[in-house]
Structure formats: structure tokens, C-alpha cells
Amino acid sequence: MSDVVVTERRGPALLVGLHRPAKHNALDEAMVDALHTVLRDAATAPCVLVVHSTTPGMFVAGADIAELLERDADDARRQINATLFDALEHHPWPTVAAVDGPALGGGCELALACDLRIASPRARFAQPEPALGIVAAAGAHWRLPQAVGLPMARRMLYTGEVLDADAALAAGLVASLHAPDALLDAAVGLAERIATRSWRALELTKLALRAHRPATTALDAESQAELFESDDKRERMTRFLDERERRRRERDATTGARG
């Protein structure tokens, strides 16, 4: 257990709770490192991973933009998030994302790295990276088309189109919708259903399905390395952070006035 990731075993399900509520579970290196540790430990005995947020109405707001602003080409080539999502994909047994809130950028890619996704009506999915002067280099270029088809993936990546829960269900991005307070139990129920199968057969099935993976990782890394050094990226991310701070100050002022 760490400060930012909380685990709990429920029968065949290992609940992996993302716990960075003040940052809307934005993925920083500390969370990435904690998740790597969880994945290494989880691979020692059969389990279905269920990735969720410990905070209602939240999944993962994306990568930590303040960290991304400071990353350079060498950081891009380290493939920090992509390596984590590949490790999640390579968990020997099936994985489930329980999405109760925004799954944006790296959050959407995290959900895509899971074998199955279920959601609450509060879920939203988007890949806004090009608006920040970078690319979705942690798997969206191939996992998203596999999940929703190439035309929808193009719309999400080119225009920033956001899929709400109903649209995500219609597109096949999520398998089912559940009330927020029933979502985690539904994920555990799905894990229990999966666990009625042979663990070894599930492991080999995952290996077979991974054979369809395209090899785009090197192109993603080099594209990101170029963009991480660009003035355009720095300007766009700085504007994003400034705007977020402005909205926070306005919320604080409104809350203070009401108090």
C-alpha cells in the first residue's frame, strides 16, 4: 500500500484504488511507481485486477500537466505512462476498469489498457493531448481504434470529442453502465464470473489476444520526444495550468462569498 494507491482483496478480485483526490487522480511518477509495485505483487497469484478510484465521481483526470510541462525528449523516450500501461496489459489474468467520472488523456489510456471497462453515468472519456501540443503516446493510437473503431478514434484524437457514458456504451468502449454506488460491486461480480474459468486458460487467452497488438510504440515515443521540446507544447500547457488556477480561484472566491 502507498499514499496514492490502495489495494484490497475481495475473493478473486484485487481492487486497485487510485487515491490522489486533490489532483483528481492525475498520474504523476509517484503514482506510476506505486502501480508498478502493485502489478509486480499481483502477478504472483491468480487474480482479476479491478482499477477504480477511491473518490466517488472521479477516475483519472489525465497525466499530471505540471510534470508534463517540465518533461523533455529524454523523458518522452522513457515512456513513463506507456510502460505502466503495457505492464497493466501484461498482467497474466483479466483486468477491469471501473470508471466513475472523467477518464481523460492518460486516464482514458489507463482504462483502455484494461481488458474490460464498466462505468457509471458520470463517466466521460476523451483524448485531449493534441490541444496541449503533444500526442497520446501511451497507447491510445492503437488501443482506442481497437475499442471504438478508427472513425470514432479519429474524432476523439483530432477534435477532442468527449464520449459521455451513453456514447461510450454505444461505441463499445464500456461493457455496461451501473449506478455509482453499485459500480464497484458490479466490477467485483464481473471478476467473480471471470474467475469461474480456468486461470491457465485465461492466461493463454490473454496471450493469444495480445498477438493482435500493432507495433506503434517506437513511433509514439519519437513523436512525443519531438513535441516535448517544442515551444508550442510549453505555451499550451502553461495556458492550461493558468486557466485551471483561475478557475480554482473563482471557485474559492464563490465558496468564500457563500460562507
d(CA 248, CA 232): 24
pTM of the shown model: 0.89
- Please, what is the angle between helix 140-148 and helix 150-159, to 10°? 130
**Is 235 one of the catalytic residues?**
no
Which residue's entry shows cell 490502495?
6
Q: Is residue 199 over pLDDT 70?
A: yes
Confidence at residue 212, expressed as pLDDT on a 0 to 100 scale: 76
Q: What CA–CA distance (Å, rounded) separates 203 from 92?
A: 5
pLDDT, tens digit (0-9, with 9 covering 90-100), for 31-82 = 999 999 999 999 999 999 999 999 999 999 987 778 877 887 887 788 889 9
User: Which residue has 478557475 as its cell numbers?
Assistant: 247
- When pLDDT is cut at 50, 70 and 90, the band that residue 225 belongs to is confident
The rounded percent of the chain whose pLDDT value lies above 90 is: 69
Q: Is 210 exposed, middle or buried (0-12, 13-18, 19+ CB in 10 A)?
A: exposed
Residue 121: per-residue pLDDT: 98
pLDDT band, residue 230 (cuts 50/70/90): confident
Pick the catalytic residue: 109, 226, 235, 250? 109
pLDDT reported for residue 220: 83
| 213 within 8 A of 85, measured Cβ to Cβ | no
Q: Where are the alpha helices (DSSP H) in 47-171?
A: 65-70, 73-78, 80-89, 106-113, 140-148, 150-159, 165-171
pLDDT band at residue 240, thresholds of 50, 70 and 90? confident
| Whether residue 1 has pLDDT greater than 60 | no
- Contact criterion met (CB below 8 Å) for 32 and 68: no
In tens, the pLDDT along 80-91 reads 899 999 999 999
pLDDT value at residue 237: 85
- Going by their DSSP bridges, the two strands 163-164 and 102-104 should be labelled as unpaired
Q: Is the pLDDT of residue 238 over 80?
A: yes
129 is catalytic: yes
C-alpha pair distances (Å), 147 with each of 114, 138, 167: 11, 15, 13
Q: Chain-wide mean pLDDT for the chain? A: 92
Max CA separation in the chain (angstroms): 60
pLDDT in tens, 102-123: 999 999 999 999 999 999 999 9
**Which range has the worst mean pLDDT, 56-60, 135-139, 190-194, 248-252?**
248-252
Split at pLDDT 50, 70, 90, the class of 146 is very high
Instruction: Report the C-alpha gap between 220 and 239 in whole angstroms.
Output: 24
C-alpha cell belonging to residue 48? 482479476
Residue 217, phi-psi category: left (phi > 0), alpha (psi -120 to 50), beta (remainder) = alpha
Which of 29, 67, 70, 129 does the annotation list as catalytic?
129
State the cell numbers at 158. 483530432
Please answer whether residues 28 and 34 qualify as being in contact, where contact means their C-beta atoms are separated by less than 8 angstroms. Answer: no
Q: Say how many CA atoms lie within 13 Å of 174 toward its Cβ.
A: 28
Can you list the domains of the chain with their CATH numbers?
A: 5-210 (3.90.226.10)
Per-residue pLDDT, 255: 74
